[in-house]
Amino acid sequence: MLKKFLKILLLFTCACLLLVPNSRAQKAISISKVVNRNDDISSNDINKVKNAVIVSDTLRGWDIHWKGSFKGAQSSYNNWSSGGVNTISVTGSSLFNALYRDGLFAYALNTDLRYGLSYIDSKGTRKINDKIAINNKFSRLFGADSSWTFFANVNFTTQFDQGFDYSDDNKILISEFMAPAYFTQIVGLAYIPSDILSFNAGLALKETFVLNDSLSTVYGLAEGDNFRFEPGFSLNIEFEKEILKNVTLKTSVESFTNINRPIRRTDLFFNTELIGSINDYLNMSFQFVAVYDDDFSKQLQIKQVLAAGLSFTLL
């Protein structure tokens, strides 16, 4: 299963490289943006625009965005010959981004909060989505025209509520707030060849917290232990592109390798999300997540979410 997953990642990386436009095309795109924002600049005066491209496309000061959304689904059956189960599901999310740039230095804060419940007739209410993710990234460009940067990441991830395994009609607690929680720090180099693709590699520290003693062994800790420290290195690829009008593909692949373990025990995280905007308020999305973490399971973890809902801008 792991070998198959690695092959998928390799194919994905190759596909991304084929989609990256060359530097000349990138400058043309940037120049177009400058011309659209500056009526006094002629689209034919390339030499005068050349230096303005970097200035105009480089953030100065703060840029803050905050978006929220509610997505749901409902089905109801009454004397329906094909059968069916009445269900109602609702998921709320909050995405907050704060970006700052001063010369060659940049900082980015991203918070991703999601929580969803589903009511299933005769089964009761069950959690279908739960995430707390806070990511901080500090970076410094090698130079104004460079695609390389130094970076430092400080990230935190956990969930709001209790999670259960309902297999075989049993209800077994497998997670809750701060059980588990992951705190990671990464320092390294990033290569950003275009505005749709980036590569990151660096030395990493990973701390795992499981504050519920009964769940310690579920996440690879010794019985009764609440904390594990792991030194290692991390690799990350991120890709984002509007592949069709009003349809955006966001994909990321991340790995963490503990230097004290065999490389075959590398943790792998693959996330891809397809987002389509119907208008300024309505959207549809499909998310696919695959995780390999043998501290929890030797099998690949899979999550798929298809949703439609209402989105709104708070900031």
| pLDDT tens figures, 18-55 | 444 443 333 332 323 333 333 333 322 222 222 222 22
Q: In sequence order, which residues have a C-beta less than 8 Å from that of residue 155 and are 6 or more positions away?
A: 133, 134, 135, 136, 182, 183, 184, 185, 186
CA angle 20, 102, 152 (to 5 degrees): 65
Kindly report, residue by residue over 53-96, the tens digit of the pLDDT. Answer: 222 245 788 989 999 999 988 889 888 888 888 999 999 999 99
The most confident of the ranges 11-20, 169-178, 191-200, 209-218 is: 209-218
C-alpha to C-alpha distance for 216 and 227, rounded to whole angstroms = 9
32: tokens are 């177009």
206: tokens are 């990973």
Kindly report, residue by residue over 125-142, the tens digit of the pLDDT. Answer: 999 999 999 999 999 989
3-state class (DSSP) for residue 121: coil
Q: In sequence order, which residues have a C-beta less than 8 Å from that of residue 249 and are 6 or more positions away?
A: 239, 240, 241, 242, 243, 272, 273, 274
Within 13 A of 27's CA, how many CA atoms are on the CB side?
A: 10
CATH 2.40.230 residue ranges for the chain: 59-77+84-313
Q: What percentage of residues in the chain have a pLDDT greater than 90?
A: 60
pLDDT-derived band at 6 (thresholds 50, 70, 90) equals very low
CATH of 59-77+84-313, one of 1.10.287, 2.40.230, 2.60.40, 2.40.240: 2.40.230
